[in-house]
Amino acid sequence: MLCRQLNTTNSEALWFVFAGQPVKFSLTEFYGVTRLDCSPLLAERELAAATTHVEGSAPYLYSLIGRTLGS
Amino acid sequence: MTVKELLRRLKSEPAMASWRKFRLALVVSVDGILLSRTHPVKASPEVVEMVKDVEFFLRYPWGRHAFHRMLRMVKVGSYIEDTSSLVGKLKQSSLAVHGFSLSIQLFAFKTIPMLLTLLHNGDEKETFLDQTIPCLPKCKTYHTSNIMSLEKQIYVSSPSFISLCCTFFLLLIPSSIIYIF
């Protein structure tokens, strides 16, 4: 399937060829098979705040797995 | 920290606090399944940091994120320099796919249902929601020749479908018009 891709200018979708017919795989089809939440991503700033720990505090991993820094 | 290691902890520590267990399971599902990237699959610091706020974590559009990650690795296009490099790429026996690669497979089965006839137990209807799956069928890779022959079958079947449509259409046209033709 992946070796049968068409080179398209659309960067948001994959196009394949099967039995002479083009097949499109975009976010819509992805949602169709997985039913995962595909709503727009958050703004960069909001995301950065949620994905990084505050300077000076320990990363959340340590409290999650119950270890202290350096152990 | 690898996802495997997290899974081992989840299994080996039944007395783990529920908040911790839940969050670790979330990290495992997202980093291990949806966004899998490196090998061995590791928990990414960003995802771990996000799981601090479970509400936020659950609201996050993981679907879109996983799709974009997959597209970045899978999509042909910007990586093609010239024909020989493309040929070289196509000659590889395997390809690393980041993100939720299973979705492509599911999509293939959905759009080309005849692929299921190549599967050993393609007609089984049990899903993971059924509690009594006797055993999971072994993952089987498709032989290219099988796919090619299937493709030919479809090729053969589609023209007949078109002619069927044409006949049906002609039947709808009043006979006088057909006479003119």
**pLDDT tens, N- to C-terminus, chain A (71 residues):** 666 777 777 778 888 888 878 888 889 988 988 888 888 887 777 777 777 776 666 777 777 777 644 44
Q: Is the pLDDT of residue B88 over 70?
A: yes
B111: chain A residues, CB-CB within 8 Å: 18, 23
> For residue B86, what are its two tokens?
């493309």
What is the sign of the dihedral through the CA atoms of A42, A45, A49 and A53? positive
Residue contact B51–A30, C-beta within 8 A: no
Q: Is the pLDDT of residue B170 over 50?
A: no
Give the range with max mean pLDDT: A10-14, B8-12, B112-116, B163-167.
B8-12
- Between positions 2 and 31 of B, the ones with CB within 8 A of A are 6, 9, 20, 23-24, 27
What is the sign of the dihedral through the CA atoms of B168, B172, B173 and B178? positive
Report the residue of A10, A29, A30 to disrupt the B interface, i.e. the one with the largest count of B CBs within 10 Å.
Answer: A30
What number is the ipTM of this complex? 0.79
Q: Is the pLDDT of residue B174 over 50?
A: no
> Cβ(B56)–Cβ(A50) under 8 Å?
yes
Separation of CA B2 from chain center: 23
Residue contact A25–B107, C-beta within 8 A: yes
User: What value does the mean pLDDT take over residues B135-157?
Assistant: 68
